[in-house]
Structures are given as structure tokens and as C-alpha cells.
Amino acid sequence: MRLAPTLMIQGTASHAGKSLLVAGLARIMAQDGLSVAPFKSQNMSLNSFADADGGEMGRAQVVQAEAAGVEPRVDMNPVLLKPTTDTGAQVVVQGRPVGTMDARTYHDYRSGLLDAVSESLERLRRDFEVVLIEGAGSPAEINFRGSDIANMKVAEIADAPVLLVGDIERGGVFAALVGTMELLDAEDRQRVQGLIINKFRGDRSILDPGLDFLESRCQKPLLGVVPYIEGLRIEEEDSVALGEAGSAVWPSDVRRAGGDDQQVRVRVVRLPRIANFTDCDALAACPGFDVQYVEQPAGLADADLVVVPGTKSTVADLRFLWSSGLAAEIVRRSRAGTPVIGICGGYQMLGREVQDPHGVDGGAGTIRGLGLLDIETVFEPAKATRQARGRVKGATPLMRAGTRVRGYEIHMGRTQLGPQAQPLLDTAFGEDGAVRPDGLVLGSYLHGFFDSDEVLASLLEYFGCPLELPLLDREAAREHQYDRLARELRRSLDMEKIYAIAGIG
């Protein structure tokens, strides 16, 4: 059976725009009638997703699959690294965790993952007409060349031509592109078939002398200068985006009934190892809410609603909450009547204590929780990863009974409810989450909890500022953003040449 052609996008550095370019190219090729699969052999991110079979993968490849109009699956990201400390990470291979390793251990271990990478890539090449491959970091990290499973080694396995992308917004793009080419060995340099400059603002003609030099020095064609696309709302790969111009994905022109401009002030605790930070994108996109991420107790002073999000390291981030004063301030705000919602790890933190007898989440031991929910969590080696949907069991001030929720679970730990807590949701897998008797503190393991219009409507009703339903047509808004990205890339890239480089007729 003939394997599908491949094309690989590599960058001169992390955050050069590789993920968005792959998403945009996937949308263009899908528009042109091709079935396209994204692929990134190794992804380091705390923003993950559970596919239909319960396998865990990076959300960047989920976004790229959405852009291509295909169902995401773990073969699109066979190796996922989820940092737990500054020097260690949980390693997920083809959707399942295989252990937590420090940097040195993983450096020695990862060359053995090439079989898994090759298997996943081959399956995609059999099932699709084109596979678009995203590199990781830079191919010029010469200290990793011998154990590379993310850049040129993958290009070699896939026999993929490479397009090298530089980010001009950071400055030094000519040095970055030329320097990267200089550091590649002759065989890898030959794989590079074209250069792209990304995130340009201003008059393109000013670049012309530099572009001529770049093509001459690198002996590679420049395939385009992609502009910085203002206001593009496509989900970011990782929480570095929280330091930029917001992360809301779904812009909306919905207006509150009655025209009242008051917004519900939602303050999300920015944990050191915040995971699945996009859980709050729906809140940020809805005009009824003013969403801000806070790192200091003073940031909660004006909160109408406090959200404690997910984390890859519940125990370590719970210690951070106590040491920073945020825990005491959350408790104080709750006692004053401010509602508090926890998602996944944040839900675990709201309980009386978190026990880690096996050292699954870090060091073995027990740590005191915030005590806002009558629950206890015990970490166990098994990890829950699955998609789920459910309904709110009983009416509470914050949630109407029967409110529908759909999302996915990715967590380690089993939570036991005490007599002063009631289950929040009924799901196909049983009960999920907990709610305090007064209904003003609740938590759930479901990522995507706020994506439900009914959840947003219930919250806004509680705060006295209802919106007219439906609130958000997320699917239409996402499709609009992918189409907008594709239009910009068609204008700025030589797609005819890119198709020829990829061997696509």
C-alpha cells in the first residue's frame, strides 16, 4: 500500500508559529479536497486532551485536527511530556503514561521511543492522503541530535521535505534562519526545501534586501512572509499565551438582555503548573464575564467568582497556594460569600486533604487542602483519561438542576465525598464532582466544564445578569477562525511551490 506524502514544518525556536502554520496548511489542504492528518512526534505541554478511546494527547494536535476536519487520535502525538517539576515530567506514550522521569533519565530513554513514533506515523500515512508534521523547538539543538525523535530524525523516517520557519516578531530572524542552517549537517541541510518568515508587521518591501541575502546565503527559496494576524482566536499550545493578549478562543457579539454592561469578575488562580488553561476560554469569550488570571492574593480583591483550575502537580501547587497567601485569601473570600469553583486538580485542592501515599504526584505524604469541600483525595498509580458528559444532579444557587455538561477527564487520584458534600454531576461513568450544602463551592473532574452554554447561563442568572440563549456558537466561530488563517496563508505563501515540494499533485 502506498504511504501518503509528508511535509514537515520546523522552527528556529519554540513559539515560532509552527503549530498555527500546520493548522493553517491543514485547513488549506482540506479545502482543496485532501484528507490531512497532523503529526507531532513529541510534544511538551500541560494542555492535553482525551481522544475518543481515552488516550491522552497534546491539544495542539487536536486543534490541527479540527482545522483539517478530522477526528483527533493519539497517533497524531505519540509522545507527550507533561512537566511535573523544573527537571522532570510524566511521559505519555501512545496515549498512556509510562512513568515520571527526570531530564537525564528521559534523555537516555527517548531513543527507544522511535518505534512508537514510526508506528504512529505509518498508521497515519496509511489512513490519510497527506501528513503534516510539526517539529519541536529547533533542529539546531546539537546536544540532542544523537537522541532526536522530534525534528530531523522524524523527517528522515518520513522522508519528509522540511520548511524552516523563523519568527521575525522576536527580532534577529535573519540570524536565526542563517544560524540554524549553518548548524545543520549537510544531510539535514539538504532536507530543508524552503524558508518562511512568520509574524511580520509593517511594509514588506522594507525586507527585500534582507530577503535577497537570505535566499543567497542559505541557497533555499523563500516561500513567503506571513503577517502577524491581529485578533486571531485559535487555541494556544501552552500557558505561555496567558502572558500575551488573552486566550479566549470564541469571540462573540452576544449582548446581555436589557443592555446592562456590568460583568461578572472571574478571577482564575494562575498556578505554577496550570494544566488545560483553555478550560476558561469560554468564560473569557462570553461578554458576561471579565476573566483575569491572578498570582497574588490582592488579585482576588474584586472577585465575584474564583476559579481554581487544573494542574499537573496538585501537591506542589497546593503548597504554592499556602505559601503565597492565596489559599488563605480564597478561604476568606469563600467565607464572605464569594463562590468558588475547582476543576480537576483545583477540585482536589478544595477538599480537606490530599494524600499521596505512593509518591505519584511528587513526594509521598499528605497535605492539607483548603477545606472548602468535605472531600478527600488519594493519589493512585492508575490514571483516568476519558470523554464524558453529564447533568447537574440537584439545583444549587450556581447551577440549575439538569444543566448539561460535556468534557473529558485527565487525572490521577480518587476523591471520596464526606457527609457535608453532595455529588455535583451524574455521568455515564457514575457520579462526578462535589458541591457544598450552600451550593457556593463546587468542583468537577471534567475539563470543558465551562464550555456548556447552560453552565454559563446558570452562572449569569445567579449573578443577576442573564444572557439570551444560545450564548456561543463555538463550532461556527472556530471554523471562521480556521478559514481566516487559511486565507492569510494563501495570500502570503507560495502554495503552488509548497504543494510541489510535498509531492502533492
Q: How far apart are CA 167 and CA 175, in angstroms?
A: 11
Query: Per this entry, what is the length of the chain?
Result: 505
Name the residue among 130, 152, 206, 207 with its Cα closest to residue 174.
207
Residue among 280, 286, 411, 447 flagged as catalytic: 447
Catalytic (active site) residue 218: no
Write the single-letter amino acid at 4: A
DSSP state of 398: S
Cell match 480556521: residue?
Answer: 482
Supply φ then ψ for residue 404, to 5 degrees.
Answer: -90, 140
DSSP calls for 158-209: HT--EEEEEEGGGS-HHHHHHHHHHHS-HHHHHHEEEEEEEEE-S-GGGGHH
Max CA distance (Å), the chain = 73
Cβ contacts of 305 within 8 Å, gap of 6 or more: 264, 265, 266, 267, 338, 339, 340, 341, 459, 463
Residue among 218, 280, 286, 344 flagged as catalytic: 344
Cβ contacts of 416 within 8 Å, gap of 6 or more: 375, 376, 377, 378
CA atoms within 13 A on the CB side of 20: 25
In the numeric block, which cell numbers belong to residue 208? 527585500
- CA 227 to chain CA centroid, Å, is 23
C-alpha torsion angle, residues 97, 447, 285, 198 (rounded to 10): 10
Cβ contacts of 347 within 8 Å, gap of 6 or more: 308, 373, 415, 433, 434, 443, 444, 445
DSSP state of 3: P
Radius of gyration of the chain (CA): 23
In the numeric block, which cell numbers belong to residue 417? 465525598
Are 11 and 166 in contact by the 8 Å Cβ rule? The answer is: yes
DSSP state of 228: P
Catalytic (active site) residue 286: no
| CA 6 vs CA 36, 160, 187, 361: distances in Å | 10, 5, 18, 38
CA atoms within 13 A on the CB side of 151: 27
Name the residue among 232, 235, 239, 224 with its Cα closest to residue 269.
239
Active-site residues: which are they? 344, 447
